A and B are shown apart, each in its own frame.
Chain A
């Protein structure tokens, strides 16, 4: 199963975990499964119209899905989907 990885900022919505296994053959399906497992993260990833928030980037392994096929980007069994929000501390 694919792995999903989030930074510290979002782990508090995933029972303090930064990595978990998810189901899905596309990024959209993986995110659906993530929200099904942890509904508290939904509003942090999606806006009220259901779109991924603009300050969130999604990567499959090392590549931004924006440079691939967006949410329809294929996800393989051994792939890692990374959720990357902007942070601003300095």
Chain B
């Protein structure tokens, strides 16, 4: 694929590198990459692949930009808050490089559409924020015989690898099963250093570019472990798992499955949690009840979160210590459990019910819902 005069000028710094050169840049122009998720990881990945001149970039996301994204999702901006993420990102990428094609898929990536969406692309880049979509992305890559450039983050830690079943292990070889629902918090629940996806995402973009160019030693068979606090980079070896259910010799998963059922969690990282209609109480209903018989408020957030917002009189027992502190609670007294957005409190409620507590409710939408609907003086975070 020939480069125009404008492209030769634009990619001059690549053309000067012998490992890329004119031939490599032509390869990139003819290449394509599907970026699943336009969040923390998808931002640097898509920006750098666009800048590098990867000819066709697909973006899959169905969310809209909100202001809590902007601490790390640098492909978006204040001016695109409220707009579709794929359209926000597409506009930014085409501003950076109008000489490429950007395909926007404003849909959830699901078993029903994943193979069709991914088929036209050379590589898949996993920038998702939830386990169901990670397992789906892996299985799609295995079934289509494509490399899956993996990245994952939590607070100060990042992982990166290239899963490519034709040449090495896949994601399921390393993680045959997801964690039990609720055991591993998401970034919406646990937070993340804003720069961290920049570090891991640029590593993913680097790996993608190397694969497309056919240069260097890729992360196939190696897992990078990065810790920003220690500023440490560690590598461990990954081998194919002979018992892998999708790429092993006796694989029994031959087609895409129901990944939300497999993982027991929804395929998104939206933070509003619910314990089910029988167990939820809305913020206005709680406000009314507090004026009557004063149920105990049990706040299961971490202590540092109470410095942001808190309800007066609430007892703070962080979710992680609740199981060991049940004796502090009176099971005869009615209790309303709350957290930031209702997810952790829903888990706390499950724990309480399994321990025999019957008079418990979950504040739907958490203290953020209370701030939105009852007390505008409280900040939302």
Residues of A within 8 A of B (CB): 7-9, 12-13, 18, 40, 43-44, 53-55, 57, 59, 62-64, 66-67, 82, 84-90
Q: Which residues of A contact B39 (CB under 8 A)?
A: 90
- Taking CB atoms and an 8 Å cut-off, the chain B residues in 293-345 that contact chain A are 320, 323-324
- B236 is contacted by which of A43, A44, A84, A89 (Cβ under 8 Å)? A84
Per the bound structure, the CA–CA distance linking A55 and B154 in Å amounts to 15
> Which residues from chain B contact A7 at a C-beta distance below 8 Å?
154, 157, 225, 227
Contacts of B159 in A (CB 8 A): 87
| A–B pairs, 23, beta carbons within 8 Å | A8-B229, A9-B157, A13-B320, A40-B320, A53-B179, A55-B179, A55-B184, A57-B175, A82-B236, A86-B131, A86-B179, A86-B184, A87-B154, A87-B157, A87-B184, A88-B131, A88-B184, A89-B40, A90-B37, A90-B42, A90-B127, A90-B130, A90-B153
Contacts A86-B152, A86-B184, A87-B153 given; indicate if A64 touches B236 (C-beta within 8 A). yes
**Could you list which residues of chain B lie within 8 angstroms of chain A, going by C-beta atoms?**
37, 39-42, 126-131, 134, 151-157, 159, 174-180, 183-187, 190, 192, 197, 223, 225, 227, 229-230, 234-239, 241, 269, 320, 323-324
* A contact residues around B241 at 8 Å (CB): 66
B237 contacts A88, CB within 8 Å?
no
In the assembled complex, which residues on chain A have CB atoms less than 8 Å from the CB atom of B131?
86, 88
Contacts of B151 on A, CB cut-off 8 Å? 90
State in angstroms the CA–CA spacing of A8 and B100 once bound together: 39
- Nearest to A5 among chain B residues (CB) is B234
* CB-defined contacts of A67 to chain B, threshold 8 Å: 237, 239
Contacts of B269 in A (CB 8 A): 89-90
Q: How far is the CA of A82 from the CA of B177 in the complex (A)?
A: 19
Q: Which residue of B lies closest to A67 (CB)?
A: B239
Closest CB in chain B relative to A56 CB, distance in Å? 8
A-B contact count (CB 8 A): 107
Per the bound structure, the CA–CA distance linking A50 and B177 in Å amounts to 17
Q: Report the separation of the CA atoms of residues A76 and B86 in the bound assembly, to the nearest whole angstrom.
A: 51
Chain A residue at minimum C-beta to C-beta distance from B156: A8
Are B187 and A90 in contact, CB atoms less than 8 angstroms apart?
Answer: yes
| Most B Cβ at <10 Å: residue of A43, A64, A67 | A64
A69 CB, min distance to chain B CBs, angstroms: 14
How far apart are A41's CB and chain B's nearest CB, in angstroms? 11
Residue contact A90 to B179, C-beta cutoff 8 Å: no
How far, in whole Å, are A86 and B237 apart by their CA atoms in the complex?
16
Q: Which 9 A-B pairs have the closest CB atoms?
A: A89-B187, A54-B177, A90-B129, A55-B179, A87-B154, A89-B153, A86-B175, A90-B41, A8-B157
- The answer for the CA separation of A84 and B324 in the assembled complex, in Å, is 25
Distance in angstroms between the alpha carbons of A15 and B296 in the assembled complex: 30
Q: Find the A residue at minimum CB distance from B243.
A: A66
For residue A12, which residues in chain B have a CB less than 8 angstroms away from its CB?
A: 320
Distance, CA A7 to CA B91, complexed state (A): 37
**Which residues on the B side are within 8 Å of A62 (C-beta)?**
235-237
19 extra A-B contacts, CB within 8 A, seeds A8-B227, A13-B320, A86-B174: A8-B154, A8-B157, A8-B229, A9-B184, A9-B185, A54-B175, A54-B176, A55-B177, A82-B225, A82-B236, A86-B131, A87-B153, A89-B186, A89-B190, A89-B192, A90-B39, A90-B40, A90-B126, A90-B130
Which residue of the partner chain A has the closest CB to B237?
A62
B192 cross-chain contacts in A, Cβ below 8 A: 89
In the bound complex, how far is the Cα of B188 from the Cα of A88, in angstroms? 11
Selected contact of A90 from candidates B155, B197, B223, CB within 8 Å: B197
